Structure 1
Amino acid sequence: MTEVDNEYESGYVSGASSEASMPEIHFTKPHLAFLNRQLQGLEPQQILQWCITSLPHLYQETAFGLTGLTTLDMLSKMNIPRPSVVDLLFFDTLHQFNETYDLIARVRERYPLVNIQMYKPAGADSAEEFAKQHGEKLWEVNDQLYDWLAKVEPAQRAYRELGVNAVLTGRRRSQGGSRGDIAVIEVDEAGLVKINPFANWTFEQVNEYVKANNVPYNALLDQGYKSIGDWHSTKPVKAGESERAGRWQGQEKTECGIHNPRSKFAQFLREQELKKQQEALHQALESGLAMEA
């Protein structure tokens, strides 16, 4: 195994909301605050053990970044009965690096007891099919629509079909941005429980674990990449830059879509529907004028 450079990280991981079915776990605000006080001082392994024994329909959401791989490795070393093994959720945007797909194959070989639930954009199995349906370079033409089609909608579909109540994420405060003040346990707008077992850890701690335990990782990490998502929105970063500096360079966005509140995308969908209605009305008016002429 090639030693991972101390500044590299990979992947997008977080939760999105399910509109079609509400999760069945409910926390009051005082209870949630109490849990965060209790979990804050625990190590990731202890938090993971609590999750396994406390949260039904628990999944690990991952893009196979180092933190997600560390989570997977820690879970694999716990004495967990097969029915309670935490399955992985991977949202394949169809625009991943080949190195990412190679890593997934190695993960399957290394951790054969773990199921990988893979969800793709609706009605497409390849980047070519996606482009035929939605046009070339949709991420440049309409990045919010791309996020919805490639990430948010598949996440919501997965939650609905699998009955997901809670997800493990790979987010850490040390990643900065909107992650700088995340709690260990959160509840989103639809009631989905999101647990960030490594909220307190630094990249160096994750990296040390990966090296010490010979955990497989993305080969791009040895080529100057830090956070790896789609090939079209991920670039290597310079020494000293933040872990996620190579994502969406030149854009204001800092998250991939599944990290954002559901309300943002509900508003986006309403705007898209209004746009379609306006276009249909415009076409109808033009057709009427043409017929009169």
Structure 2
Amino acid sequence: MIRINQISQSLEEANPQKILSWSLSQFDPDKMVVTTSASLPVTVALLYGEIKPSSSIPIIFIDTLHHFPETLQTANQIKQHYGIDLRIYQPKGIKSREEFAQIYGQELWKNDIDRFHFLTKIQPLERALKELKAEVWITGRRRDQSSTRKNLPILEEDPRGYMKINPLANWTYRDVWRYIDQHQVPYNPLHDQGYSSIGDEPLTTPTYAGESERSGRWRERGKTECGLHIYPSSEIQ
């Protein structure tokens, strides 16, 4: 752990491109996966628009069945634009929002938001990581996104045993949009309608002047994370 902390510190001044290039030189690409926002796919753009690894690294997209239509359209646009290996994972054995409601009840996100996230995000992601035999997990998280991410390291060990790489850790929201504009990265059109951060349709609202980037997610529910990066699934039954 000490060595990981030291390496992470040594990467603090590196830009995301250098961090990703370093990662590809240090770890087996066949054991790597990427998770990133389908709405702001900057990690994908850096990896496949600039670095272009010799081996195709799977991009995991968690289709919760509750996304905005625009999010699904953007995910497909990104797949076509960069020619990526997009792996789509949904709640196991369920193919539609209506079917999910029949099994787990109407508006589960209102009645038990943690269980909703467990079923729609945490379980599908853990299944993806296991099926893809992932050992190294590249994320799109940034320190300025929320208070729970303010101390995010470049390199970290996940409690489940994965090595996580956070190449955008010290980028800001402005840095992200500067990159999108400069490199013409496809993005979710809902961002042009006041949505600064986009999650599930029933749980996402536009943000207003002076609000933080993720304040439109889980509004008035006291949450800042869905759980993908917080706890193993065993903590929710």
What TM-score do the two structures reach when normalised by structure 2?
Answer: 0.95
Match status 1:65 vs 2:36: no
Which residue of 17, 20, 25 corresponds with 1:53?
A: 25
SS in 2 for 1:40: coil
Which residue of 104, 117, 121 corresponds with 1:134?
A: 104
Count of paired positions: 234
How much is the aligned-residue C-alpha RMSD, in angstroms? 1.2
CA distance in 2, matches of 1:181, 1:88: 25
Match status 1:80 vs 2:53: yes
Greater RCO between the two (CA within 8 Å, min separation 6)?
A: 1
Counterpart amino acid of 1:210?
I
Indicate the structure (1 or 2) with the bigger Cα radius of gyration.
Answer: 1
Match status 1:158 vs 2:128: yes
- C-alpha offsets along residues 97-149 of structure 1, whole Å, 9 cap, x if unaligned? 0000111121122112x110110001101101111111111111111111111
CA distance in 1, matches of 2:119, 2:206: 26
- In structure 2, the CA distance between the partners of 1:79 and 1:220, relative to structure 1 (3 Å rule), is closer
- C-alpha offsets along residues 158-189 of structure 1, whole Å, 9 cap, x if unaligned? 11111011111111111122011110111111
CA distance in 2, matches of 1:63, 1:212: 19
Match status 1:268 vs 2:236: yes
CA distance in 1, matches of 2:155, 2:166: 6
SS in 2 for 1:254: coil
CA distance in 2, matches of 1:51, 1:142: 38
Match of 2:73 in 1: 102
Which residue of 223, 232, 237 corresponds with 2:193?
A: 223
CA distance in 1, matches of 2:235, 2:72: 33
Match of 1:256 in 2: 226
Match of 2:181 in 1: 211
Q: Is the 8 A contact 2:91 2:119 kept in 1?
A: yes
Q: Is the 8 A contact 1:188 1:261 kept in 2?
A: no
Match of 1:91 in 2: 62
Q: Is the 8 A contact 1:183 1:196 kept in 2?
A: yes
Q: Is the 8 A contact 1:63 1:91 kept in 2?
A: no
Match of 2:9 in 1: 37
SS in 2 for 1:222: helix
CA distance in 2, matches of 1:79, 1:153: 30
Shift >6 Å, 4+ stretches? none
- C-alpha offsets along residues 13-52 of structure 1, whole Å, 9 cap, x if unaligned? xxxxxxxxxxxxxxxx121111112111111000000111
Deviation of the 1:73 alpha carbon: 1.3
Deviation of the 1:87 alpha carbon: 1.6
What TM-score do the two structures reach when normalised by structure 1?
Answer: 0.77
Match of 1:282 in 2: none
CA distance in 2, matches of 1:194, 1:65: 21
Q: Is the 8 A contact 2:36 2:43 kept in 1?
A: no
CA distance in 2, matches of 1:212, 1:160: 36
Instruction: List alignment gaps of at least 5 residues for structure 1.
Output: 1-28, 270-293
Q: Is the 8 A contact 2:20 2:47 kept in 1?
A: yes
Deviation of the 1:266 alpha carbon: 2.2
Match of 2:163 in 1: 193
Q: Is the 8 A contact 1:167 1:194 kept in 2?
A: yes
Match of 1:8 in 2: none
- In structure 2, the CA distance between the partners of 1:120 and 1:79, relative to structure 1 (3 Å rule), is closer
